Amino acid sequence: MSERPVIRLKPKAEARAIRHGFPWVFANELVTDRRTRALPAGCFARLEDSESRPLGLVTVNPASKIIARMMDRNPEVEITRDWLAERLERAQQLRACLHDAPYYRLVHAEADGLPGVIIDRFGDAAVIQPNAAWAEAQFPMLAEALQQVTGVQTIVKNGSGRSRALEGLVEETALYCGTLDGALPVPMNGATYMADLLGGQKTGLFFDQRDNHAFAARLAQGARVLDVFSHVGGFALAALAQGAQHALAVDSSVPALDLATSGAQASGVEARFQTRQGDAFAVMEALATEGAQFDLVVCDPPAFAPNKPALDKGLRAYERVARLAAPLVAPGGYLGLCSCSHAADLTSFRNASARGIGRAGRRGQLIHTGFASPDHPQLPQLAESGYLKAVFFRLD
């Protein structure tokens, strides 16, 4: 084994946070001399504090603000296929306890000990998002380990999204191995969803909302349901599977709504399902003008506040969503509002939602707060891993 490079924290950097489980080192915390800046993106190095005491094995990317990510507390470990397989096996054991069928998030990045790596499993297929330079460099070995542990035959490499750009990685989505013949059916909450692993948003389906779908469906028996920012019919199909009278799915994406319709057909609920394509804000305004009323309205928009500079604008957008959605809820009905913005904490998002409801002239009881499903575990030391929030109100 060649001698491993060593990188060192600055004297005023907080080594205690690393020792207590924080997984990242930012560029301004590290001694970045010419040797460190010359390290290849995705390489592995020994991290030491300012007094040369070892902290662990990290992966380094000099081009990223997150210049180092913790891989292992043992600074001497080798990142091999067996090392990766051990992490994957541990992740799979958790998911096997949670779900009867292999449709779930298998790896949730740092929270599963694989920094920057997202893996969603769809039966015999899986989608890997290598959002860190080390995972890009080691992708073939990661895919081999995944096949070894899970037996999946088809793997899609999804190299898209903001995280890769921050790592200096190019966008690239492709079928890495196996075959795909169109969208795949995914059973969840009594419904069947259609996931486009190559052309859909993210990995093709949002497993993180599974438990929130289930809660909303409990409110939907016999109800008229409006699912705004519906994607492939997330809340609408779950509600219909639990006996909703009718559901309208709204999204700006025609392909997503086509998949939602296919899911409704596969679920046997197409007679009670409709779609409406358009800008969600404009559609909600139009529905209000038409006098439309629903017993359950759920809005699951994209991340309006993906980072701290966007927070104020994002909170105003969440407030606007609530203000436009609230008038569409029939008296005594329910309003569910979601945020996947890690920069907007629960209190800020809940307050913005409540302001929007109030500005619409409605009053509401907060009856439930939801988060990502447990196949998206949180790393307590990393707030970013707890990004998803859902608040449900009963309106007067």
Task: Give the CATH number for residue 39.
Answer: 2.30.130.10
Q: How far apart are CA 17 and CA 25, in angstroms?
A: 10
Block residue for tokens 């990188």: 7
In a domain, 344, yes or no: yes
Tokens of 319: 């407030």
> Among the residues of 52-180, which ranges form H helices?
81-98, 133-137, 139-150, 162-166
Note whether 366 and 322 are within 8 A (CB). no
Evaluate if residue 180 carries a pLDDT over 50: yes
pLDDT of residue 2: 54
Q: What is the pLDDT of residues 363-392, one digit of tens each?
A: 999 999 999 999 999 999 998 888 999 999
Write down which residue in 152, 177, 202 finishes a domain. 177
What is the arithmetic mean of pLDDT over 56-66? Answer: 97
List the single range of 217-221, 248-252, 296-300, 380-384 with lowest mean pLDDT: 380-384
Q: How confident is the model at residue 1 (pLDDT cuts 50, 70, 90)?
A: very low
- H or E element at residue 335: strand 329-339
Higher pLDDT, 162 or 216: 216
Tokens of 126: 């899986």
Same domain, 287 and 387: yes
Domain range spanning residue 372? 185-395
Q: How far apart are CA 321 and CA 60, in angstroms?
A: 40
Q: What are phi and psi of 229, to 5 degrees?
A: 60, 50
Same domain, 131 and 26: no
> Among the residues of the chain, which ranges form H helices?
15-19, 34-37, 81-98, 133-137, 139-150, 162-166, 210-218, 234-241, 254-267, 280-289, 311-325, 346-359
Same domain, 100 and 226: no
- In sequence order, what are the residues at sequence separation of 6 or more whose Cβ sits closer than 8 angstroms to the Cβ of residue 194? 183, 184, 185, 186, 232, 259, 260, 262, 263, 266
Same domain, 256 and 390: yes
Same domain, 143 and 279: no
Choose the catalytic residue: 43, 299, 338, 340. 340
pTM of the model: 0.95
What is the arithmetic mean of pLDDT over 293-303? Answer: 97
Catalytic status, residue 340: yes
Same domain, 67 and 101: no
pLDDT of residue 63: 93
Q: What percent of the chain has pLDDT over 90?
A: 93
Pairing mode, strands 191-195 and 184-188: antiparallel
Distances 308 to 75, 167, 336, 372 between C-alpha atoms, Å: 33, 18, 24, 21
For the domain that residue 287 is a member of, what is the CATH number? 3.40.50.150
Phi-psi region of 190 (alpha: psi -120 to 50; beta: other; left: phi over 0): left
* Mean pLDDT across the chain: 96
Q: How far apart are CA 68 and CA 133, in angstroms?
A: 10
Note whether 364 and 357 are within 8 A (CB). yes
Same domain, 303 and 378: yes
Evaluate if residue 71 carries a pLDDT over 90: yes
Q: What are phi and psi of 57, to 5 degrees?
A: -95, 130
pLDDT of residue 202: 84
Q: How confident is the model at residue 14 (pLDDT cuts 50, 70, 90)?
A: confident
For the domain that residue 151 is a member of, what is the CATH number? 3.30.750.80
Which 3 state secondary structure label does DSSP give 199?
coil
Number of domains, the chain = 3
In a domain, 1, yes or no: no
Same domain, 264 and 358: yes
Q: What are phi and psi of 194, to 5 degrees?
A: -110, 125
What is the arithmetic mean of pLDDT over 49-67? Answer: 96
